[in-house]
Structure 1
């Protein structure tokens, strides 16, 4: 049964993890002189009347050559899986199709993976774009290259003192006058707000585009990774040269 590139990609991570773990264990084992060493001691008394003592021995627990063979086996799997993936990636290509139109033709699988990651960042960037205040009505003003609100007119007032006669003057008493202030309109403000933000509709349009492209890139990557691969066997050549 033919192997697909997506199957190789699926097992690559586990193969790397196991190889690293086994290589670390092998390295640590070889740093322990005690388990690399053995000894055999026998005792012979000076004469027949002398005390008899049992022999002593310590067995060699690991052998460097055995560790090398085990390491070669472990790394050969890793080298072969990675080579199979990288060789196949040279051939794995697919079109990025949006709304029935080919936007990018015969894109390598590795670049599709790059595109996928970049589009995640672009989606975040677009979502955080500033939005025009929905409480205002906005029109694009080409003279300032910004959005402008509808003109709003407000009044400017000034307090003017007025006299209120509470009691008219008499022969015996002066008039009782109270001073108060009245707000009088003295002018008009015409206010137009400007903004460099974007309408919500524009941001939603951009989000829809990037999401559509994200979907197209994912489809293309799946298609590219669905090609059949030839299992590469490079590990034997490398390790036969290194350890033969």
Structure 2
């Protein structure tokens, strides 16, 4: 018995073949000479006149045959697509994570939606900011953010000083060298805060998304294994259209 995944495998080829047939037919019917033919004979006015051979051109393209060819190609597409879409309404599977059904009876179309969303979500989570690993962080329940331990540093001020190189005499002034000295005038106590996440938290989230992605893929494969009932709707459609 045919499975849904087999129908999906041939659908692309059938669609391409149908489009090619329609395109070819469109180009053929635009070539007026291919649809035209003639037959003519010549008869002189008397027996002494010149005899000329008959001429004829065969019609190479018949519009009705083109319609038949288009219908044949599209009927196959209509039937394959109908078979797929009808089966999609009953092809379902559970999304199972760690032995538990996270989503029960999910149809194939929803599983495909989930796959795309989870790819985007995985990308988003991978870009989340993480805490600087060079710091030690603890969670501050009051501020609801992460914080470092307070670090105390000094604040200094440059104060000019004089260094006497030589005392003054009655003949020479004192020789003095001016320099500055850093004097502690206060203390800074710094605590850093961050709204980023620990790297381990981001890795846990990525692992969960990956696990769910795998579960959705397994569910889709299971749903696509559903048996199909061939739907033949194309013949009725084109019998009505081209009759």
SS at match of 1:163: strand
Superposed counterparts of 1:156-235, under 5 Å: 156-235=155-234
Q: Report the CA distance between 1:227 and its aligned residue.
A: 0.9
Q: Report the CA distance between 1:174 and its aligned residue.
A: 2.2
Q: In the aligned structure 1, how far is the partner of 2:59 from the partner of 2:173?
A: 128
Structure 1, unpaired ranges of 5+: none
> RMSD of aligned C-alpha atoms?
1.0
Q: In the aligned structure 2, how far is the partner of 1:222 from the partner of 1:78?
A: 23
Is 1:116 aligned with 2:115? yes
Q: Report the CA distance between 1:37 and its aligned residue.
A: 0.6
Give the TM-score of the pair, scaled to structure 2. 0.97
Q: In the aligned structure 1, how far is the partner of 2:139 from the partner of 2:48?
A: 117
SS at match of 1:174: coil
Q: How many equivalent residue pairs?
A: 243
Per-residue deviation, residues 15-54 of structure 1 (Å, max 9, x unmatched) = 1111011111111211221111111111111111111112
Q: In the aligned structure 2, how far is the partner of 1:144 from the partner of 1:56?
A: 99
Per-residue deviation, residues 62-120 of structure 1 (Å, max 9, x unmatched) = 10110111111111100000000001001100000000011000100110011011111
Q: Which residue of 2 aligns with 1:103?
A: 102
Give the TM-score of the pair, scaled to structure 1. 0.97
Q: In the aligned structure 2, how far is the partner of 1:194 from the partner of 1:21?
A: 63
Per-residue deviation, residues 168-195 of structure 1 (Å, max 9, x unmatched) = 1222222211111100011111111222
Q: Tell which deviates more after alignment, 214-223 or 52-61.
A: 52-61
Per-residue deviation, residues 125-164 of structure 1 (Å, max 9, x unmatched) = 1111111111111111222222212222221110111110
